[in-house]
């Protein structure tokens, strides 16, 4: 058995570990099935509660280890031994791994998380006393290697239809209920036919009451089935909604930076378009599609009552379907145009609100207002056309339904005069014609909603097909502790949709514990180097190495846990000072000692000590309640709070005053003695923190050497520019 990674924080970290028994059980089971896992790879990006895995999220974590998991309710002695090891949920909120049961000896072999990988025998009665009645079966999925021939499995793997198929049992019940409802629909016309043709002429009141009781029973069953059918549709839609929303958000948060959308507002509109998909799959009118096949049954019954009566029904059905099909092209075009204009308008809104201060200072209100009104006017016209075409389909379907009923009555009257039809038969045929046309009319009315949902689904498909940092099935090297050596081996990088390379054939080595400054003009590639070290982008050529290992082998979450990054543009989240500093690990993963140390190193100590709320001070949206220098200090604090081995500082003091900068330099020089540090700066005052300077121009290294020699060469103009 391979030793699984401990859950405690890495060496040198002051964080207090939060024991997650369920996660440790998952790692134990994964080890039993020869699956290599790390705590970070299993839980990265999952919605944990108080820093711990929950039974509801457990299957999503298990899938990352190539395992399938299913939560079951069962007595302990009724668990299937063929599926051992199994995770047992204990009271209160604990867990263990059950390896085997000896019912004769009343013994159970289990692994408790607090004892590591050591298995122990416990009394079955004692285990049953603490067993919650729920267990999780965990089994390995079959792994296809390169020798297995490729087959077209795109449909079965689809992020949307795959989730819908998971609820096929509910939809099966919906179809079964629809069959019974449509069979019951025949009862009312038959009741009317018998009353008019047999009860009334013969004054058979006893027969009337028997028929009335029978039809009342049928109507009660019909009511119950309709309520159950709607409940099942809502249940299936809600289950799908939860899983689909989670998968969409996980995909968004896992996007590679090169796949990031150009417009945040437009991208947000794309994600919000899932609402129309949700509304469509949860709509009770969707059951009209299930009722469509029974139209033929109603038409056949009408033909049995009177063959000529079925002619207007068939003509009406054909007319409605032909009109609906003719409107499909226009509906699709208008739906797509409406979605694009709406996304563009939303992009203008988000951009304007997020940069409202800049808009006001530049007096750009007029231009933005003009853009907004043009988009709104075009959207209004397009939406009006969409509503017109959509309503025309519904109106034509309703007109056809009434026209068919009139035609049935006209033909029926002539049939009665000729003696080929009774009055009861005419009324029954009239009721059945309305029942036959209703599903056709409802299906036609669904067309507009379908095209809107189809357009939204296509746009979401584009999101789900974007590359992510942690693709399914990829295994990463588990390295909880790194030394901090960084090496660039002939690295080049071109950003998406850019013609020029940001870096060109860069080769350099930064030893563990070395302090380096990156100097150069604006846009020369200094920040790009930091982003490559963070794994935010993959080089288009060459390789970036950490401790001699290609960066692409590291789990991104585990790598960034060892890197403290201060970006050039500081972004804070709505919440408190504490929540922003410990944003990466949650407040449960960072103890107060580490938090206060980071606050002191960053220069936030005076702000925290002088405010009544201390670390619970609200920072506002995007940190608007803080000054520029304070926001930068928060960025420094959250870069240092996890005690990382590598520090990447991009203009860390650009918004600080001289006093704050000097205090920061003093604290950082003492703190970072054994750490690898890369400082991007235009301030010569920060050069005292480093021993080596690298000069970059146009993506190339122009100079690399000891600090004093490079500074002297720069002063004398001996370092040229890239060509």
What are 183's two structure tokens? 């069979």
| pLDDT attached to residue 397 | 87
d(CA 328, CA 322): 10
* CA of residue 201 relative to chain centroid, distance: 67
* Position 452 pLDDT exceeds 80: no
Note whether 271 and 407 are same-domain residues: yes
* Position 247 pLDDT exceeds 50: yes
Query: Does the N-terminal peptide bond of residue 92 adopt cis geometry, omega within 30 degrees of 0?
Result: yes
Q: Three-state SS across 225-285?
A: HHHHHHHHHHHHHHHHHHHHHHHHHHHHHCECHHHCCCCHHHHHHHHHCHHHHHHHHCCHH
pLDDT band of residue 154 (cuts 50, 70, 90) is: very low
Output DSSP code: residue 568: S
* Position 588 pLDDT exceeds 70: no
Q: pLDDT tens, 604-622? A: 888 888 888 888 888 888 7
d(CA 202, CA 94): 75
pLDDT band of residue 475 (cuts 50, 70, 90) is: low
| pLDDT attached to residue 591 | 78
| pLDDT attached to residue 145 | 59
Note whether 244 and 388 are same-domain residues: yes
* H or E element in which residue 350 lies: helix 310-354
> What angle separates helix 274-281 from helix 423-464, to the nearest 10 degrees?
150
pLDDT band of residue 533 (cuts 50, 70, 90) is: very high
| pLDDT attached to residue 607 | 87
Instruction: Give the lowest-confidence range in 143-157, 204-218, 405-419.
Output: 143-157
* Position 461 pLDDT exceeds 60: yes
d(CA 31, CA 23): 12
Q: Residue 629 CB: number of other CB atoms within 10 A?
A: 16
Note whether 324 and 459 are same-domain residues: yes
In a domain, 15, yes or no: no
d(CA 191, CA 188): 5
* Position 577 pLDDT exceeds 60: yes
| pLDDT attached to residue 406 | 93
Residue whose C-alpha is closest to residue 405's, from 436, 383, 444, 366: 436
* Position 118 pLDDT exceeds 90: no
pLDDT band of residue 135 (cuts 50, 70, 90) is: very high
pLDDT band of residue 694 (cuts 50, 70, 90) is: very high
Q: Which of 4 and 345 is assigned the larger pLDDT?
A: 345
Note whether 256 and 124 are same-domain residues: no
Instruction: Give the lowest-confidence range in 363-367, 428-432, 469-473.
Output: 469-473
In a domain, 148, yes or no: no
Instruction: Give the lowest-confidence range in 414-418, 447-451, 480-484, 657-661.
Output: 447-451
pLDDT band of residue 5 (cuts 50, 70, 90) is: very low
Longest C-alpha distance within the chain, in Å?
A: 121
Give 159: exposed, middle or buried? Use CB within 10 Å, 0-12, 13-18, 19+. middle
DSSP characters over 381-411? HHHHHHHHHHHHHHHHHHHHHHHHHHHHHHH
| pLDDT attached to residue 693 | 92
**Residues 525-538, mean pLDDT to the nearest whole number:** 90
Note whether 502 and 365 are same-domain residues: no
d(CA 498, CA 528): 14
In a domain, 478, yes or no: no
pLDDT band of residue 181 (cuts 50, 70, 90) is: confident
Report yes or no: 55 and 22 within 8 Å, Cβ to Cβ: yes
* Position 439 pLDDT exceeds 50: yes
Q: Alpha-carbon Rg of the chain, whole angstroms? A: 35
| pLDDT attached to residue 584 | 63
Note whether 265 and 124 are same-domain residues: no
pTM: 0.72
Q: Residue 326 CB: number of other CB atoms within 10 A?
A: 10
* Position 586 pLDDT exceeds 50: no
Q: Three-state SS across 167-225?
A: CHHHHHHHHHHHHHHHHHCCHHHHHHHHHHHHHHHHCCHHHHHHHHHHHHHHHHHHHHH
Q: Residue 536 contacts by C-beta under 8 Å, 6 or more apart in sequence?
A: 257
| pLDDT attached to residue 453 | 79
Residue whose C-alpha is closest to residue 555's, from 10, 1, 33: 10
pLDDT band of residue 155 (cuts 50, 70, 90) is: very low
Of 80, 111, 140, the one marking the end of a domain is 140
In a domain, 269, yes or no: yes
Supply the range of the domain harboring residue 588. Answer: 486-716
In a domain, 3, yes or no: no
| pLDDT attached to residue 714 | 86
What are 178's two structure tokens? 């629809």
Q: Which of 384 and 497 is assigned the larger pLDDT?
A: 384
Note whether 296 and 210 are same-domain residues: yes
* CA dist 521 → 650, 695, 721, 722 (Å): 14, 9, 10, 11
What mean pLDDT, rounded, does the chain reach? Answer: 84
Q: pLDDT tens, 88-98? A: 999 888 899 99
pLDDT band of residue 52 (cuts 50, 70, 90) is: confident
* Position 292 pLDDT exceeds 60: yes
Residue whose C-alpha is closest to residue 160's, from 468, 472, 453: 453
Q: Residue 465 CB: number of other CB atoms within 10 A?
A: 10
d(CA 461, CA 534): 28
* CA of residue 66 relative to chain centroid, distance: 20
Q: pLDDT tens, 257-281? A: 888 877 777 778 777 778 777 777 7
Note whether 453 and 525 are same-domain residues: no
Strand order in the sheet with 700-706: 563-566, 646-650, 676-680, 515-520, 692-697, 700-706
What are 232's two structure tokens? 């099942």
Q: Which of 8 and 284 is assigned the larger pLDDT?
A: 284
The length of the chain, given as a count of residues = 723
* Position 84 pLDDT exceeds 80: yes
Q: pLDDT tens, 303-359? A: 999 899 999 999 998 998 888 888 888 888 888 888 888 888 888 888 888 788 778
In a domain, 481, yes or no: no
Report yes or no: 101 and 81 within 8 Å, Cβ to Cβ: yes
The CATH number that applies at residue 63 is 3.90.70.10
**Residues 403-414, mean pLDDT to the nearest whole number:** 92
| pLDDT attached to residue 217 | 93
In a domain, 459, yes or no: yes
| pLDDT attached to residue 97 | 92
> What angle separates helix 658-671 from helix 592-602, to the nearest 10 degrees?
130
Report yes or no: 488 and 508 within 8 Å, Cβ to Cβ: yes
In a domain, 153, yes or no: no
Note whether 109 and 197 are same-domain residues: no
The CATH number that applies at residue 626 is 3.40.50.300
Note whether 125 and 165 are same-domain residues: no
Quote the number of domains for the chain. 3
DSSP characters over 273-300? THHHHHHHHT-GGGHHHHHTTHHHHHHH
Helix, strand or coil for residue 35? coil
The CATH number that applies at residue 211 is 1.20.1560.10
Note whether 455 and 309 are same-domain residues: yes
Q: Highest-confidence range of 278-292, 301-315, 651-665, by mean pLDDT?
A: 301-315
Give 399: exposed, middle or buried? Use CB within 10 Å, 0-12, 13-18, 19+. middle
**Residues 143-155, mean pLDDT to the nearest whole number:** 55
d(CA 115, CA 22): 14
Note whether 416 and 509 are same-domain residues: no
Output DSSP code: residue 241: H
Report yes or no: 652 and 667 within 8 Å, Cβ to Cβ: no
* Position 152 pLDDT exceeds 70: no
Report yes or no: 261 and 347 within 8 Å, Cβ to Cβ: no
pLDDT band of residue 285 (cuts 50, 70, 90) is: low
d(CA 670, CA 666): 7
């Amino acid at each position: 058995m391979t030793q699984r990674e401990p859950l405690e924080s890495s060496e040198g970290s002051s964080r207090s570990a939060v024991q997650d028994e369920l996660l440790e059980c998952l790692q134990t089971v994964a080890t039993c099935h020869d699956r290599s896992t790390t705590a970070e790879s299993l839980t990265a990006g999952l919605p944990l509660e108080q820093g711990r895995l929950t039974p509801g999220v457990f299957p999503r974590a298990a899938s990352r280890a190539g395992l399938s998991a299913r939560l079951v309710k069962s007595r302990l002695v009724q668990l299937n031994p063929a599926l051992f090891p199994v995770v047992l949920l204990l009271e209160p909120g604990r867990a263990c791994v059950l390896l085997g049961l000896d019912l004769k000896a009343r013994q159970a072999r289990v692994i408790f998380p607090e004892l590591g990988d050591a298995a122990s025998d416990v009394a079955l009665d004692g285990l049953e006393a603490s067993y919650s009645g729920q267990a999780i079966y965990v089994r390995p999925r079959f792994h296809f290697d390169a020798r297995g021939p490729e087959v077209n499995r795109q449909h079965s793997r689809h992020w949307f239809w795959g989730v819908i198929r998971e609820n096929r049992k509910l939809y099966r019940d919906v179809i079964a209920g629809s069959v019974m409802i449509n069979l019951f629909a025949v009862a009312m016309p038959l009741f009317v036919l018998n009353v008019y043709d047999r009860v009334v002429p013969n004054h058979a009141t006893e027969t009337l009451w028997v028929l009335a009781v029978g039809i009342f029973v049928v109507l009660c069953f019909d009511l119950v089935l309709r309520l159950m059918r709607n409940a099942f549709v809502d249940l299936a839609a809600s289950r799908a909604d939860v899983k689909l929303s989670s998968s969409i958000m996980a995909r968004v948060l896992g996007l590679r930076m090169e796949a990031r959308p150009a417009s945040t507002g437009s991208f947000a509109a794309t994600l919000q378009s899932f609402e129309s998909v949700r509304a469509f799959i949860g709509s009770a009118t969707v059951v009209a599609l299930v009722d469509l096949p029974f139209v033929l049954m109603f038409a056949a019954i009408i033909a049995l009552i009177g063959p000529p009566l079925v002619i207007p029904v068939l003509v009406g059905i054909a007319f409605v379907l032909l009109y609906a099909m003719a409107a499909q092209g226009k509906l699709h075009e208008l739906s797509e145009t409406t979605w694009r204009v709406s996304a563009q308008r939303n992009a203008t809104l988000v951009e304007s609100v997020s940069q409202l201060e800049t808009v006001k200072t530049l007096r750009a209100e007029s231009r933005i207002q003009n853009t907004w009104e043009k988009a709104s006017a075009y959207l209004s016209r397009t939406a009006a056309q969409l509503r017109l075409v959509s309503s025309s389909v519904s109106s034509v379907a309703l007109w056809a339904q009434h026209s068919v009923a009139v035609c049935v009555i006209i033909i029926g009257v002539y049939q009665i005069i000729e003696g080929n039809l009774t009055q009861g038969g005419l009324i029954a045929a009239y009721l059945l014609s309305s029942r036959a046309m209703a599903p056709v009319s409802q299906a036609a009315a669904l067309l507009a909603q379908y095209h809107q949902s189809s357009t939204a689904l296509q746009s979401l498909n584009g999101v789900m097909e974007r590359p992510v940092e942690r693709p399914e099935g990829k295994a990463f090297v588990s390295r909880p502790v790194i030394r901090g050596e960084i090496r660039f081996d002939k690295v080049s990088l071109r950003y998406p949709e850019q013609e020029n390379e940001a870096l060109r054939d860069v080769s350099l080595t930064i030893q563990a514990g070395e302090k380096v400054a990156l100097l150069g003009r604006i846009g020369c590639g200094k920040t790009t180097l930091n982003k490559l070290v963070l794994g935010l982008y993959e080089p288009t050529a060459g390789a970036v190495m950490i401790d001699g290992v290609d960066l692409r082998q590291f789990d991104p979450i585990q790598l960034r846990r060892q890197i403290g990054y201060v970006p050039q543009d500081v972004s804070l989240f709505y919440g408190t000072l504490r929540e922003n500093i410990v944003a990466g690990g949650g407040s449960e993963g960072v103890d107060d000692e580490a938090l206060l140390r980071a606050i002191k190193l960053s220069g936030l100590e005076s702000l925290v000590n002088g405010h009544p709320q201390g670390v619970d001070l609200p920072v506002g949206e995007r940190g608007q309640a803080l000054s520029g220098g304070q926001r930068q200090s928060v960025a420094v604090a959250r870069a240092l709070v996890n005690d990382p081995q590598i520090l990447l500082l991009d203009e860390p003091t650009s918004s600080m005053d001289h006093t704050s900068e000097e205090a920061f330099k003093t604290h950082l020089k003492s703190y970072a003695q054994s750490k690898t540090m890369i400082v991007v700066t235009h301030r010569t005052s920060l050069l005292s923190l480093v021993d080596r300077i690298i000069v970059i121009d146009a993506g190339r290294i122009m100079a690399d050497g000891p600090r004093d020699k490079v500074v002297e060469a720069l002063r004398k103009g001996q370092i040229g520019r890239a060509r």
